[in-house]
Amino acid sequence: MAKTVNVWIDGNQLEVPDTMTIIEAADKHGFYIPRLCYHPDLPPTANCGVCVVDLAGSPTPKRACCTPVAEGMKITTNTKKLRSYRKTLVEMILSNHEVVCPTCVANNKCELQTLASNLGVDMEALPSILIKKPADDTSLSIIRDTNKCIACGRCITVCNEVQQVYALTMSERGIDSHPDTAFAHGMANSPCVNCGQCTVYCPTGALRERSEIDEVWDAILDPEKHVIVQEAPSIRVSLGEEFGMPLGSVTPKKMYAALRKIGFDSVMDTNFTADLTILEEGTECVAKLKAGDKRPLITSCSPGWIKFMETYYPDLADCVSTAKSPMSMFGVLSKTYYAQEQNIDPAKIVSVAIMPCTAKKFEARRPELRDSGYQDTDYVLTTRELLRMIKEAGIDFANLKEEEADEGMSFYTGAGTIFGATGGVMEAAIRSAYFLVTGEELENLDIDAVRGLEGVKEATIEVPGFGPLKVAVAHGLGNARKVMDRVREGLNTTGESPWHFIEIMACPGGCVGGGGQPYGNDIASRARRGLALYEEDRNLPVRKSHHNPEVTRIYERFLGEPNSPLAQKLLHTHYFERSVNTGQVVREVTHKH
Amino acid sequence: MYKKICSKYEPTKDNLIHILHEIQDTHPQHYISDEAVEEVSKYLNLPTNHIYGVLTFYSMYSTTPRGKNIIRLCESPPCYIKGSENILRKLKVLLGVETGETSKDGLFTLELSACLGVCGNAPVMMINEDVYGDLTEEKVEEIIEKYRRAQ
């Protein structure tokens, strides 16, 4: 139990738990201490020194981010000296930083830029000592520009402690220290799974997605091309905030209108293939349950999770659903089903996906995802990239007149939309799997046990004719490890998994917290966006994937039935084992039916 | 070979430094390769990025192949005041290398070092395990010649 202690911040007496640091106590009670490397979601790295405060009785200032509070502590947050320290620190950081703000992706979102501006730093105070180095552009998803890096260490913390991917480390020491991959081989030759959480927590523009905006504009402006676009569930709850709307505004119809204004020829929706995924994966799950298979079924939507599994748990690859992700199902269908229905040459179709995700860029380029005869998904843009396109097009998003999506692959149910929040795929699957097993409809659709931001969630659902269905949900790859270790242990000892069905999402919070989401993507805003998806679900007329009329139609006109031979060919995939050192493919571990 | 070295130690994290030292000391090129790190990573169940972080933190480890003899010239203030800059220039000329490089014949790698603890004899350098103090340009020439002859 935490004890309560009395501390004084700038003369104000406060009671705070003794487990807090000074900066946490100050934040909780509304006292602002300038900071740069500290982020409330992450353990402190204590690298920048900007958060220094004076403590009565201490000869030197202390860093508020890593100094615990103590009984009787008297803290002064601002003095002439502290102001001068902070300014000097930021001036020193800037002297070793490539200052190209107007063209930087982080412009207006950069924590260093904001702090320098707030502190009234003199840009000319120190001459630049920056020795320019080439960026690490090996990765298909993430660019690492060391010239903008301020060595705060957040990327390393989130990579190693939260995600436990172990791609980045602090290399060298002193003034030379900088984040790097092992042997400086580059992100593409490391165990990096492209989750992009490093890009989310980077305070500057040093870590960013590999942009495909120009390629997408080129396709749109090419009259020969037919450009079709899909948007992931979480996009519709993440755009409004950039245009002054409340965080978590649900804006699917403004999103469609904006995409049409930008010039996409066909505006569809990933939520449609999310519903389709439920039928494919749900059918797979039911077949497994009916066969009495002791190995669990694990979801396959999250590309960061899939590469993580291939790297660290290839022995369990056969437990992972063979269903492609909703994005990849959409990609392949856009060049088969859609091309056929619309009578368009698939060679002329450019399939674009708007994703909250950097790992989707890697997924789109997986060589095995070409079942249409073409690269199924041509380009993936993150939410941040779409925001830039909306701004380039000069669209007044908040005041846009709402429009509907085009028909064919855009109708979605509440089950499809909650894919974007942790637990959503599980909840959507249960709603349909219950029907597939019992032939009856599930009455209570809100499965609260799998909602919320607890790292690992477990639930048992009574399914008539089957018995208790045990499920688990993990988000964030550190939590995925906890679940996968128990599955591995169970299978290796008793031969049984603790759960029948498991949902895993690479990013904390699920896709709403994805590595491609707008800057300022902290845990609190992830929670708010997740709630927005549940709110949309509640208000939609259809809330179960198997009642999606466009899904019914695609099975009638094209696919036959879930898991049919054509569905197997187009909508399912296989997995590889990857080296834990280089992330490169070692061998194929599951095979396509 | 790396496996054999690892197996001499308990597979616990605190043996990392010892294992790395032995790998480097027994390697003819006095360095720790990717393959060595991968082997240690497996043995200690430590990710390679962690090991790389340790390797680059300590200046005594090298991740690139080095010469037969490693020269470490002290760059601390007492040696600097006593003219280590001149010694460094002389060494560069004698060996035909810049700091951190290995001579073409593979005999010498020239490195700078923090204080070697014999400031009374500044300027000082170490070649492998041996310390040479009160260096002058002439003395450096003799010492290098001695190592070349020993070859």
Whether residue A63 contacts residue A71, with contact meaning beta carbons closer than 8 Å, is answered with: no
Q: Same domain, yes or no, for A253 and A340?
A: yes
Residue range A151-199, pLDDT digits in tens: 999 999 999 999 999 999 999 998 899 999 999 999 999 999 999 999 9
**Bridge partners for A120 per DSSP:** none
Whether residue A352 contacts residue A508, with contact meaning beta carbons closer than 8 Å, is answered with: no
Q: Same domain, yes or no, for A271 and A413?
A: yes
| Exposed e or buried b per residue across B119-143, where buried means at least 16 C-beta atoms within 10 angstroms of its C-beta | beebbbbbbeeeebbebeeeebeeb
Q: CB under 8 Å to B46, separation ≥6 — which residues?
A: B13, B16, B40
Is the model's pLDDT at B14 over the cut of 70?
A: yes
Residue range A238-266, pLDDT digits in tens: 999 999 999 999 999 999 999 999 999 99
For this structure, is A535 an active site residue? no
Residues of B contacting chain A (CB within 8 angstroms):
34, 37-38, 41, 47-53, 56-57, 63
Residue A575 — φ and ψ, nearest 5°?
-125, 165
Across the range B15-32, mean pLDDT stands at 95
CB contact under 8 A, B48 and A182: yes
Whether residue A314 contacts residue A369, with contact meaning beta carbons closer than 8 Å, is answered with: no
Q: Same domain, yes or no, for A119 and A151?
A: yes
Alpha-carbon gap: A60 to the closest alpha carbon of chain B (Å):
27
Local confidence band at A390 (pLDDT 50, 70, 90 cut-offs): very high
Give residue for tokens 């989130």: A158
Residue type, A73: M
Q: Same domain, yes or no, for A38 and A147?
A: no
CB contact under 8 A, A173 and B56: yes
Check which CATH number belongs to the domain holding A10 and give it.
Answer: 3.10.20.740
Task: Residue B19: give the domain boundaries.
Answer: 2-57
Is the model's pLDDT at A1 over the cut of 70?
A: no
Number of domain units in chain B: 2
Give chain A positions within 8 Å (CB) of B57.
170, 172-173
Across the range B6-27, mean pLDDT stands at 96
Across the range A290-316, mean pLDDT stands at 96
Q: Same domain, yes or no, for B39 and B108?
A: no
Alpha-carbon gap: A149 to the closest alpha carbon of chain B (Å):
17
Planar angle of CA A351, A504, A154, nearest 5 degrees: 85
Query: What confidence score (pLDDT) does residue B59 get?
Result: 85
Q: Same domain, yes or no, for B45 and B15?
A: yes
Query: What confidence score (pLDDT) does residue A424 get?
Result: 96
Question: Rounded to the nearest 10 degrees, what angle do helices A252-262 and A383-392 cross at?
Answer: 60
Across the range A480-494, mean pLDDT stands at 97
Q: Same domain, yes or no, for B85 and B116?
A: yes
Nearest to B108 by CA among B143, B56, B78, B137: B143
Closest residue in A to B33 (Cα) is A183
For this structure, is A202 an active site residue? no
For chain A, what is the mean pLDDT? 96
Whether residue A432 contacts residue A551, with contact meaning beta carbons closer than 8 Å, is answered with: no
For chain B, what is the mean pLDDT? 95
Query: What confidence score (pLDDT) does residue B60 get?
Result: 87
Q: Same domain, yes or no, for B23 and B93?
A: no
Across the range B43-54, mean pLDDT stands at 97
Residue range A107-151, pLDDT digits in tens: 999 999 999 999 999 888 899 999 999 999 999 999 999 999 999
Across the range B75-85, mean pLDDT stands at 95
3-class SS of residue A230 = strand
Asked which of A23, A45, A78 is the last residue of a domain, the reply is A78
Check which CATH number belongs to the domain holding A493 and give it.
Answer: 3.40.50.1780
Residue range A317-363, pLDDT digits in tens: 999 999 999 999 999 999 999 999 999 999 999 999 999 999 999 99
CB contact under 8 A, B48 and A581: yes
Across the range A83-107, mean pLDDT stands at 96
Query: What confidence score (pLDDT) does residue A428 get?
Result: 96
Query: What confidence score (pLDDT) does residue A116 get?
Result: 96
HSE of A6 in the Cβ direction (CA atoms, 13 Å)?
Answer: 4
CB contact under 8 A, A169 and B50: yes
Catalytic-labelled residue, pool A288, A360, A361, A457: A360
Check which CATH number belongs to the domain holding B130 and give it.
Answer: 3.40.30.10
Asked which of B57, B81, B97 is the last residue of a domain, the reply is B57
Residues of A contacting chain B (CB within 8 angstroms):
160, 166-173, 180-183, 190-191, 580-581
Query: What confidence score (pLDDT) does residue A123 get?
Result: 86
Give chain B positions within 8 Å (CB) of A581.
34, 38, 41, 48
HSE of B114 in the Cβ direction (CA atoms, 13 Å)?
Answer: 3
Residue range A491-533, pLDDT digits in tens: 999 999 999 999 999 999 999 999 999 998 999 999 999 999 9
Q: Do strands A4-9 and A52-55 pair parallel, antiparallel, or not at all (unpaired)?
A: unpaired
Q: Same domain, yes or no, for A131 and A244?
A: no
Report d(CA B116, CA A587) in Å as an integer. Answer: 50
CB contact under 8 A, A181 and B34: no
Query: What confidence score (pLDDT) does residue B151 get?
Result: 78
Residue A21 — φ and ψ, nearest 5°?
-90, 170
For this structure, is A363 an active site residue? yes
Query: What confidence score (pLDDT) does residue A593 get?
Result: 66
CB contact under 8 A, A580 and B52: no
Nearest to B115 by CA among B129, B126, B127: B126
CB contact under 8 A, B37 and A168: no
Q: Out of B34, B41, B52, whose CB is closest to A169?
A: B52
Whether residue A412 contacts residue A392, with contact meaning beta carbons closer than 8 Å, is answered with: no
Is the model's pLDDT at A441 over the cut of 90?
A: yes
What 3 state SS string does A346-393 have? HHHEEEEEEECCCHHHHHHCCCCCCCCCCCCCCEEEEHHHHHHHHHHC
Catalytic-labelled residue, pool A212, A363, A503, A536: A363
Q: Same domain, yes or no, for A301 and A197?
A: no
CB contact under 8 A, A166 and B63: no
Alpha-carbon gap: A508 to the closest alpha carbon of chain B (Å):
22
Q: B62 lies in a domain?
A: no
Give chain A positions within 8 Å (CB) of B2.
none
CB contact under 8 A, A172 and B47: no
Q: Same domain, yes or no, for A233 and A301?
A: yes
Q: Same domain, yes or no, for A47 and A106?
A: no
Q: A84 lies in a domain?
A: no
Query: What confidence score (pLDDT) does residue A466 get?
Result: 86
Closest residue in A to B63 (Cα) is A183
Q: Same domain, yes or no, for A426 and A484?
A: yes
- pTM of the model as a whole: 0.95
Q: Out of B37, B38, B49, whose CB is closest to A181?
A: B49
Q: Same domain, yes or no, for A152 and A218?
A: no
Query: What confidence score (pLDDT) does residue A319 get?
Result: 97
Give chain A positions within 8 Å (CB) of B41.
580-581
Local confidence band at B36 (pLDDT 50, 70, 90 cut-offs): very high
Closest residue in B to A174 (Cα) is B57
CB contact under 8 A, B50 and A170: no
Local confidence band at B71 (pLDDT 50, 70, 90 cut-offs): very high
Give chain A positions within 8 Å (CB) of B65.
none
Catalytic-labelled residue, pool A91, A368, A403, A458: A368
Q: B64 lies in a domain?
A: no
Q: A486 lies in a domain?
A: yes
Task: Residue A152: give the domain boundaries.
Answer: 101-209
For this structure, is A321 an active site residue? yes
Q: Same domain, yes or no, for A10 and A148?
A: no
Instruction: Say how far residue A386 (Cα) sits from the centre of its chain.
Output: 15
Is the model's pLDDT at A582 over the cut of 90?
A: yes
Number of domain units in chain A: 3
3-class SS of residue A132 = coil
Q: Out of B38, B47, B56, whose CB is closest to A171?
A: B56
Q: CB under 8 Å to A192, separation ≥6 — which residues?
A: A139, A142, A159, A165, A167, A168, A181, A583
Q: Out of A171, A180, A183, whose CB is closest to B34?
A: A183
